[in-house]
Structure 1
């Protein structure tokens, strides 16, 4: 169970020792290492897949699939580093959770200079990776949701990276992609004051 601090708001301590406040995510002192660490240690599908498969590895695969939007795609599930990976059917029953998730996601995207909503191409890449990974790590026949949706499974291979390796690869990809993203950003969309944190 994560360490919890009472008094300021509902907060948790992060791997770096910083505190993350769910009522004030934008002013919380989180880093990209905190995000990578959390995502690397969370298993997708509530752990109900063939073997451990982290959200960090999923994010890397979506980033590799979303050509032209690799940086945004790498961070598309970053909020789960602090919120955990709630399965989609349960999430639909929790409107308050969805509101909190949106606020945490916005704080993270702003921190690293991503303005506006995530591009539609990221969602498309996410669905393509989802279709491919379900074929590889879930029981046969569980990919029926794809039929009729015109989702072309991404040409990816799930490697089941251990957490330490998934974290390392995630951080390396972040450091590689961020400079290129800064260069291609629209003029006038500068980084927020906290965006230089790592």
Structure 2
């Protein structure tokens, strides 16, 4: 019996995307992924390894980061786009996996190239991401989880977590992408 799974090892370890194309984890540069593939993945991944009070997608988080920043909005929207293909791994675990970090950096570089994103945006987006993280933690996590923000002088972003469904998060993510690129 021949069983086909949505993982292959032809040119490199690859996954099947919802669009029906293959994404090569070691050669993302030659993978035919689309913004729809990114939106599909991010809208179905829960932040905080699911350890929050309700489902909260990476896509919704990305929308908040985009809305928090004044410039580099497209870069902010796509700042976690690699997670659509490699998952959202918690920061403490990521620190233990140097090979994962190298794969993530390569996927991010391919995404930046594919969508013409500006590398100069990174420090601005990271600050907006931290501000959204502080706001999220005060809304999603046990009391006191966001203690680090006050100690670090990070002002929480003025965002409200809506707990969007995956389909709503995907649609809003795509609408924002098209608003920023048309």
In the other structure, the counterpart of 1:174 is: 177
Separation in structure 2 between the aligned mates of residue 146 and residue 72 of structure 1, nearest angstrom: 23
Gaps of 5+ in 1: 180-198
Gaps of 5+ in 2: none
Q: Does 2:151 align with 1:142?
A: no
What is the TM-score with the length of structure 2 in the denominator? 0.95
For residues 54-101 of structure 1, the C-alpha deviation after alignment (integer angstroms, 9 at most, x for no partner) is: 000000000000111111100000000000000000101111110100
Q: Does 2:13 align with 1:4?
A: no
Separation in structure 1 between the aligned mates of residue 41 and residue 76 of structure 2, nearest angstrom: 17
In the other structure, the counterpart of 2:127 is: 124
In the other structure, the counterpart of 2:60 is: 57
User: Quick check: 2:75–2:118 contact (8 Å CA) kept in 1?
Assistant: no
In the other structure, the counterpart of 2:42 is: 39
Please point out which of 22, 25, 30 is paired with 1:22: 25
Query: Number of aligned pairs?
Result: 178
Aligned partner of residue 5 in structure 1, secondary structure: strand
| Cα 1:91/1:117, change in 2 over 3 Å | farther
User: Quick check: 1:79–1:108 contact (8 Å CA) kept in 2?
Assistant: yes
Q: Does 2:125 align with 1:92?
A: no
What is the TM-score with the length of structure 1 in the denominator? 0.87
Of 151-160 and 140-149, more deviation after overlay is shown by 140-149
Q: Note the aligned Cα RMSD (angstroms).
A: 1.1
